[in-house]
Amino acid sequence: MLRSPQKALLSLDNTISEITGPVFGHNMLGELDDDMIFNFAKPGESAIGQRIIVYGRVLDERGKGVSGALVEVWQANAGGRYRHKKETYLAPLDPNFGGCGRAITDEDGNYAFRTIKPGPYPWPNGPNDWRPAHIHFSIFGHGFAQRLITQMYFEGDPLIPLCPIVRTIPDEEAVRRLTAVLDMGATIPMDARAYKFDIVLRGRRSTLFENRLEGN
């Protein structure tokens, strides 16, 4: 695949074009946007699979919560099948599962959504490559420079160290930070287990931005 740029990225101190970004208000959210068990399901039905809560905080590099961040997620269903016309995996679609959800962080950077645990799936890379169970994340913080796209993995999944996409991350610690931990303290008894996943957005390369933040 001839897609990755071959030349070095050009380092650019942030200007106002990079430190600004649109605002996403909580009023744009529908009631079920953060509930993938129900947001595509027929009335009275729900998605098939292990019910889980995924929650955490969006932080900046100082550890401060990023408020008003837009968190958009997508995933395969419990059998590892995506609802997409280019998807060819033989696992069946779940008629009650669409696969998209979104939330906006609160004042302290907290977000949460409810879903089913996605299944692992094979993909045509090597002869027998499987993706670990994962949820795709897109995060929009305060500035266009902070835009992030990543994936969340599940603690204890033996496929994580085997995955070529995970292996593009050279650093074990960075892989650990993309792995959500089971949090029995946040579980909803008799309903859903909870996985905790914090996300850190990139810092600002310019004193312009830092000065602004300290003034707030």
Min dist. Cβ of residue 102 to other proteins (A): 8
Based on the shown chain and the rule CB under 8 A, indicate whether residue 65 belongs to the binding site for other proteins: no
Min dist. Cβ of residue 117 to other proteins (A): 17
Among 91, 129, 130, 144, binds other proteins (CB under 8 A): 144
Tokens 């600004």 — which residue? 20
Residues 180-209 that bind other proteins (CB under 8 A): 199-203, 205-206, 208
Can you give the three-state secondary structure of 65-125, one letter per residue?
ECCCCEEEEECCCCCCCCCCCCCCCCCCCCCCCCCEEEEECCCCCEEEEEEECCCCEEECC
Q: Which two tokens stand for residue 201?
A: 């957005």
Active site residue 136: yes
Active site residue 121: yes
Among 46, 51, 83, 155, binds other proteins (CB under 8 A): 83
Active site residue 134: yes
Among 37, 47, 53, 59, binds other proteins (CB under 8 A): 59
Number of residues forming the site for other proteins (CB under 8 A):
74
Nearer to other proteins, 18 or 192 (CB): 18
Q: Are 94 and 47 in contact (CB under 8 A)?
A: yes
Cα–Cα distance, 216 to 1 (Å, whole number): 45
List 55, 121, 153, 195, catalytic entry: 121
List 51, 83, 136, 212, catalytic entry: 136
Based on the shown chain and the rule CB under 8 A, indicate whether residue 30 belongs to the binding site for other proteins: yes
Nearer to other proteins, 48 or 187 (CB): 48
- Beta strand pairing call for 148-154 and 179-182: parallel
Active site residue 3: no
List 131, 142, 153, 204, catalytic entry: 131
Segment (H or E) for 210: helix 207-215
Task: Choose one: 6-14, 47-55, 108-116, 180-188; the region binding other proteins (CB under 8 A).
Answer: 6-14
Min dist. Cβ of residue 105 to other proteins (A): 14
Q: Are 206 and 11 in contact (CB under 8 A)?
A: no
Cα–Cα distance, 192 to 105 (Å, whole number): 21
DSSP 188: B
CA 32 to each of CA 35, 51, 109: distance values in angstroms, whole numbers, following the listed order: 5, 15, 20
Residues annotated catalytic, as ranges: 82, 121, 131, 134, 136
